[in-house]
């Protein structure tokens, strides 16, 4: 395993910036064209309807302009991206069959130790394909499905086609369209009625090649009265050129079901991270997003809950940290379609060294969604005079009986607090780190212990040298 020498200063503290020599079975040419889309579909031996879907999505992508709101995307050159890279030896259920260099990558990242210790199942994606997917036997016996998205299409074609692209269609936005055209990798999850998976499933995404794109598509269906928790992690090497990640996550939470999707995304600072995540929640179902964004050059990501039937609930807990050269444009969407639905958004952001964080959120209550309610809390912490934060709340209410609350605060680290903690023996950096950990505590406490520890550790790495 080699350490890539082309590391920008802003990546100096990024501990996952190493890369492997490239060993690939297939590598498409740069650029997004019809022949590249056809190559992907052929490599996956897909049915004709999926190829037709991809080509239609390509047309939609070409017809849509780049968004002019949100983060600055002028530096993203879509013609310089590799849209499909197939690694050698992919999609196995035996860890022993994963190629050694890829296996070493995930061992170094803590996979599959985490599986052996605390997880119901683990998936690992390397470049454009899942290299490993495994579910513990006890859950297989209960009918739980945890496969790569490609195997989901092949093994459960009717269930797959019933739900695929119904939550996030390619017409939704330009980046949903690009994902629909070139999607590759991701998970297919089905939890049967009444089954409660009480330990998490996890998938880890790793970009390795320079100027590469990763376009996973994840489809999760939680049947009536079922429960589960899915955790996603992400890293990439540090390069002087940009990489592109544009995933789509579609989740169906049926009547009385409960599901949590937790993300700790820690991309290197040369990655554009433009993601569409959305859940459809039915009667008395509960959807929870726990969303952590630390890395990337640019992130635009707004986990959404569409509350479709009476009693549905959606919650989003979000943390974003922006350092030098970063813009974290994150937030949430909660849309009420039915009576007695409820939502909650708690957003925390930290900015330092001219980094910029933005909260961008939508709360929409349609007419007829009687007594719907949502509360929004946005808190921003600035660590120095160069940092920037913005809040862009959109609230659209068409129902007179609805209740919506919104509050926002912006603060900086208090000098008196720093001095007090220093008087108790802490250094200035340690004092600032303690204050920041307290600031993010509402999000960290919702993660399993080992992931909360990892989040705090990553925050500490980002905090080094931030004060004084």
How confident is the model over 230-262, as pLDDT tens digits? 988 775 545 557 889 999 999 999 999 999 999
Among residues 436, 418, 417, 369, the alpha carbon closest in space to that of 396 is found at 369
| Complete DSSP assignment for 391-442 | EEEEEEE--TT-EEEEEEEEEE--HHHHHHHHHTT--HHHHHHHHHHHHHHH
The residue with greater pLDDT, 234 or 212, is 212
User: CA-CA distance, 338 to 197, in Å (whole number)?
Assistant: 28
- Tens-digit pLDDT profile for residues 141-186: 999 999 999 999 999 999 999 999 999 999 999 999 999 999 999 9
Q: Report the percent of the chain where pLDDT is more than 90.
A: 58
- Which pLDDT tens digit goes with each residue over 332-363? 999 999 999 999 999 999 999 999 999 999 99
What is the pLDDT, as a whole number, of residue 8?
45
Check pLDDT > 80 for residue 452: no
Domain ranges of the chain: 9-89+162-199+207-463
**b/e 7-16 (16+ beta carbons within 10 angstroms → b):** bbebbeebeb
pLDDT in tens, 375-394: 999 999 998 889 999 999 99
Kindly state the average pLDDT of the residues 122-140. 76
Q: How confident is the model at residue 21 (pLDDT cuts 50, 70, 90)?
A: low
Query: Among 336, 335, 393, which residue's Cα sits nearest to residue 359?
Result: 393
For the segment 302-322, the average pLDDT, to the nearest whole number, is 96
The pLDDT tens digits of the residues spanning 82-123 come to 999 887 655 555 666 666 656 565 566 565 565 555 566 777
Provide the pLDDT for residue 164.
Answer: 98
Q: Tell me, what's the pLDDT at 283?
A: 98
Q: How far is residue 231 CA from its own chain's centroid?
A: 9
Query: Which pLDDT score is estimated for 4?
Result: 41
pLDDT of residue 69 exceeding 60, the answer is yes
Coil, strand, or helix at residue 219?
strand
The Cβ-side half-sphere exposure at 78, using a 13 Å CA radius, reads: 15
State the average pLDDT for the chain. 86
Q: Determine how many CB atoms are found less than 10 A away from the CB of residue 96.
A: 6
Distance CA 328, CA 352 (A): 12
Q: Given pLDDT bands bounded at 50, 70 and 90, which one contains residue 418?
A: confident
Q: How far apart are CA 419 and CA 182, in angstroms?
A: 53
Q: Is 60 helix (H, G, I), strand (E, B) or coil?
A: helix
Alpha-carbon distance values, 200 to 74, 278, 404 (Å): 38, 20, 32
CA distances from 319 to 60, 258, 263, 288, 341 (A): 32, 22, 10, 14, 24
CB atoms within 10 A of CB 62: 12
Q: Report pLDDT for 67.
A: 92
């Amino acid at each position: 395993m080699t350490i890539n020498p082309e590391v920008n200063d802003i990546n100096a503290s990024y501990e996952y910036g190493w890369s492997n020599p490239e060993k690939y079975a297939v590598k498409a040419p740069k650029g997004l064209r019809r022949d590249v889309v056809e190559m992907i579909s052929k490599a996956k031996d897909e049915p004709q309807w999926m190829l037709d879907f991809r080509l239609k999505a390509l047309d939609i992508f070409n017809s849509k302009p780049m968004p002019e709101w949100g983060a600055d995307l002028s530096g993203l050159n879509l013609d310089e991206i590799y849209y499909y890279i197939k690694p050698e030896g992919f999609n196995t259920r035996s860890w022993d069959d994963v190629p050694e260099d890829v296996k070493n990558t995930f061992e170094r990242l803590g996979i599959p130790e985490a599986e052996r210790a605390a997880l119901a199942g683990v998936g690992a994606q390397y470049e454009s394909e899942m290299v490993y997917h495994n579910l513990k036997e006890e859950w297989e016996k209960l009918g739980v499905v945890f496969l790569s998205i490609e195997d989901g299409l092949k093994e459960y074609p009717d269930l797959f086609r019933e739900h695929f692209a119904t939550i996030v269609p390619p017409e939704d936005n330009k980046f949903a369209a690009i994902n629909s055209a070139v999607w590759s990798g991701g998970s297919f999850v089905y939890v049967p009625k009444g089954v409660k998976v009480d330990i998490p499933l996890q998938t880890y995404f790793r970009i390795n090649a320079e100027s590469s794109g990763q376009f996973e598509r994840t489809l999760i269906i939680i049947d009536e009265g079922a429960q589960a928790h899915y955790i996603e992690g992400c890293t990439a090497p540090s390069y002087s050129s940009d990489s592109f990640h544009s995933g789509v996550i579609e989740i169906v939470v049926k009547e009385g079901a409960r599901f949590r999707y937790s993300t700790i995304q820690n991309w290197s600072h040369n990655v554009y991270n433009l993601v569409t995540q959305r859940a459809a929640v039915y009667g008395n179902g509960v959807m929870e997003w726990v969303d952590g964004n630390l890395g990337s050059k640019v992130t635009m990501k707004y986990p959404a809950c569409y509350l479709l039937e009476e009693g549905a609930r959606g919650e989003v807990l979000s943390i974003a940290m922006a350092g030098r050269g970063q813009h974290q444009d994150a937030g949430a969407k909660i849309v009420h379609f039915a009576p007695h639905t409820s939502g909650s958004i708690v957003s925390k952001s930290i900015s330092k060294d001219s980094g910029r964080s933005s909260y961008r959120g939508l709360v929409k209550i349609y007419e007829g969604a009687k007594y719907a309610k949502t509360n929004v809390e946005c808190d921003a912490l600035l660590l120095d005079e160069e940092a920037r934060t913005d809040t862009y709340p959109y609230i659209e209410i068409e129902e007179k009986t609805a209740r919506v609350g919104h509050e926002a605060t912006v603060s900086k680290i208090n000098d008196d607090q720093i001095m007090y903690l220093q008087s108790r023996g802490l250094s200035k950096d340690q004092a600032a780190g303690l204050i920041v950990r307290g600031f993010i505590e509402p999000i960290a406490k919702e993660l399993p212990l080992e992931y909360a520890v990892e989040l705090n550790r990553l925050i500490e790495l980002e905090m080094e040298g931030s004060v004084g």
